[in-house]
């Protein structure tokens, strides 16, 4: 299985910072969900409650186990400690 992590960039973004790779991926059929909250290692996380495989199956799809991708849309390391990060989780489905 491919585990992919990245951030969403504008279509006209051409030059990644040193040490990062810009890769365009072709169209895939994925089930996608947005998670807003603390990461698994942070207090108050709800990450363990994500049910992407079950939700895909409920919609009549099968998780291929070929691709799992996390796209980070927003990081929140504010002093309040709420850490409301925004992560899009995608799994490839058939």
Residue-level pLDDT, tens digit, the chain, 94 residues = 676 777 777 778 877 778 877 777 777 788 888 999 999 899 899 988 888 788 888 989 988 888 888 888 999 998 877 899 999 988 888 8
pLDDT, position 12: 82
* 76: β partners: none
For 8, 42, 73, 75, the CA distances from 16, given in Å and listed in that order, are: 12, 29, 16, 19
pLDDT, position 11: 78
pLDDT, position 14: 76
- Strands 63-74 and 85-93 come out as antiparallel
Specify whether the CB–CB gap between 87 and 70 falls below 8 A.
Answer: yes
Domain ranges of the chain: 2-10+28-93
């Amino acid at each position: 299985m491919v585990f992919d992590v990245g951030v969403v960039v504008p279509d006209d973004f051409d030059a990644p910072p040193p040490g990062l790779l810009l890769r365009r991926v072709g169209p895939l059929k994925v089930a996608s969900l947005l998670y807003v909250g603390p990461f698994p290692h942070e207090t108050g996380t709800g990450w363990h409650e994500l049910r992407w495989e079950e939700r895909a199956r409920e919609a009549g799809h099968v998780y291929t186990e070929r691709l799992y991708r996390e796209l980070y849309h927003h990081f929140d390391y504010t002093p309040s400690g709420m850490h409301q990060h925004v992560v899009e989780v995608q799994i490839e489905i058939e």
